[in-house]
């Protein structure tokens, strides 16, 4: 894939990922932009031990602009956007309103809130990038071709490697938010990549469980789950030569699918060419079933679970999780008292019912 690095008017990096033979990317950003000033910090909750990011500067980020002023569409005469070119395949650029950044204005290392020693504070040092999957404003990930999806996978791999090498980044998280019900404020098909300055609570917990299971059984827990799901078939949605998509046996969400490679790898860069090709086919099948489920575009979050950058990589097993808050065509699952207050989930459907509906939707 052809990779071209340029810079926007405020100095942020923009990277074009094109098919071989694509024209040179030479367009300049003509906007008059002030430099990005990210004032992020992280604070560790003294009761849970979890880090929380504070990024008050994000209050001014772009919110539901009209389609003709979409900042993720290619630039047009008189309407410059975040992408200076008149067209593109896949493009990545630094978020103008980042939760984490390399040159962050935050608390000094080793500080605590109010100097009391209870709540450690540190700069929110990391990186946040936007990934535009296509120049087609009215498209979706599900409407991409397998070739386009493969280009996105290669882009995720490139950015995972790049962000993993940045100072202070401990985990790289590619994800997509889709639909207003999820909280999306820009409708152009896009995702994001976060380079966190810590290992996230979800990943830390999964590694803890994986370590205990490996010590007791001598095998990876997700490997045994995958084998059990393939043997049962009750919760499988679709499968390919290298990937299986299934509803997890303890699904929390009204629609939830895990896509798991048959080979244990820590992250996207570790996938082979054949595994990347097969993922494109399986993932498109899953997304198109999801959109057919209620006869409308499904709002969802697609979250990549990758190994931490510097530890426990041998315990991790890459997988993608797709889930939705939509429990019927016009009904949402709200995270109320039990889920939000105690993190105890109650699902209105069984995993077997969810899987059957998705199979039928295909």
List, in sequence order, every residue forming a beta bridge with 324; answer none if it has no partner: 255
The per-residue pLDDT for range 128-153, each reduced to its tens digit, is 999 999 999 999 999 999 999 999 99
Q: How confident is the model at residue 13 (pLDDT cuts 50, 70, 90)?
A: very high
Q: Within this chain, do residues 214 and 333 fall inside the same structural domain, yes or no?
A: yes
Among 57, 137, 188, 190, the one annotated catalytic: 190
CA–centroid distance for 150 within its chain:
16
For the full predicted model, state whether its pTM sits above 0.75. Answer: yes
* Residue-range definition of the domain harbouring residue 16: 2-200
Q: Within this chain, do residues 103 and 91 fall inside the same structural domain, yes or no?
A: yes
Q: Within this chain, do residues 93 and 104 fall inside the same structural domain, yes or no?
A: yes
CA–CA distance from 139 to each of 136, 145, 193, 211, 327 (Å)? 5, 11, 20, 41, 24
Q: Within this chain, do residues 39 and 110 fall inside the same structural domain, yes or no?
A: yes
Averaged pLDDT of the chain? 94
Q: What CATH number is associated with residue 118?
A: 3.30.428.10
By three-state DSSP, how is residue 196 classified? strand
The per-residue pLDDT for range 184-201, each reduced to its tens digit, is 989 999 999 999 999 999
190 is catalytic: yes
Q: Within this chain, do residues 252 and 107 fall inside the same structural domain, yes or no?
A: no
Greatest Cα pair distance, the chain, in angstroms, is 64
Judged against a pLDDT cut of 70, whether residue 107 lies above it is answered with: no
SS3 per-residue string spanning 168-237: CCCEEEEEEEECHHHCCCCCCCEEEEEEECCCCHHHHHHHHHHHHHHHHHCCCHHHHHHHHHHHHCCCEE
Q: How confident is the model at residue 11 (pLDDT cuts 50, 70, 90)?
A: very high
Q: Hey, what are 48's tokens?
A: 């849970």
Roughly what angle, to the nearest 10 degrees, separates helices 351-361 and 273-293? 90
pLDDT value of residue 59? 65
Mean pLDDT (whole number) for 27-43: 90
pLDDT value of residue 56? 77
Q: Within this chain, do residues 196 and 208 fall inside the same structural domain, yes or no?
A: no
Mean pLDDT (whole number) for 52-63: 76
Cα–Cα distance, 314 to 317 (Å, whole number)? 8
């Amino acid at each position: 894939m052809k990779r071209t690095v340029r810079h926007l008017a405020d100095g942020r990096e923009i990277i074009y990922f094109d098919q071989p033979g694509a024209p040179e990317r030479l367009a300049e950003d003509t906007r008059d932009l002030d430099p990005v000033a990210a004032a992020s910090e992280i604070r560790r909750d003294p009761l849970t031990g979890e880090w929380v990011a504070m990024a008050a500067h994000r209050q001014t980020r772009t919110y539901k602009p009209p389609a003709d002023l979409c900042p993720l569409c290619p630039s047009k005469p008189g309407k410059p956007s975040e992408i200076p070119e008149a067209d593109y395949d896949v493009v990545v650029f630094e978020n103008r309103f980042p939760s984490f950044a390399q040159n962050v204005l935050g608390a000094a290392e080793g500080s605590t809130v109010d100097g009391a020693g209870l709540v450690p504070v540190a700069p929110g040092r990391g990186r946040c990038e936007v990934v535009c999957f296509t120049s087609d404003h009215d498209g979706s990930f599900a409407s991409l071709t397998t070739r386009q999806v493969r280009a996105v996978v290669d882009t995720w791999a490139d950015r995972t490697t790049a962000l993993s090498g940045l100072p202070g980044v401990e985990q790289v998280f590619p994800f997509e938010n889709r639909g207003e019900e999820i909280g999306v404020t820009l409708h152009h098909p896009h995702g994001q990549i976060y380079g966190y300055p810590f290992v996230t609570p979800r990943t830390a917990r999964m590694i803890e469980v994986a370590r205990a299971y490996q010590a007791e059984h001598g095998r990876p827990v997700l490997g045994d789950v995958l084998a059990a799901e393939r043997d049962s078939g009750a919760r499988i949605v679709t499968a390919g030569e290298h990937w299986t998509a299934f509803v997890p046996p303890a699904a929390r969400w009204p629609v939830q699918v895990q896509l798991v490679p048959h080979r244990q790898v820590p992250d996207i860069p570790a996938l082979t060419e054949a595994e990347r090709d097969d993922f494109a086919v399986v993932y498109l099948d899953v997304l198109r079933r999801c959109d057919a489920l209620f006869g409308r575009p499904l709002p969802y979050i697609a979250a990549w679970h990758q190994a931490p950058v510097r530890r426990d990589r041998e315990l991790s097993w890459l997988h993608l999780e797709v889930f939705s808050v939509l429990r019927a065509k016009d009904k949402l699952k709200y995270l109320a008292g039990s889920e939000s207050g105690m993190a105890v989930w109650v699902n209105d459907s069984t995993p077997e019912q969810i899987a059957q509906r998705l199979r039928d939707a295909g």
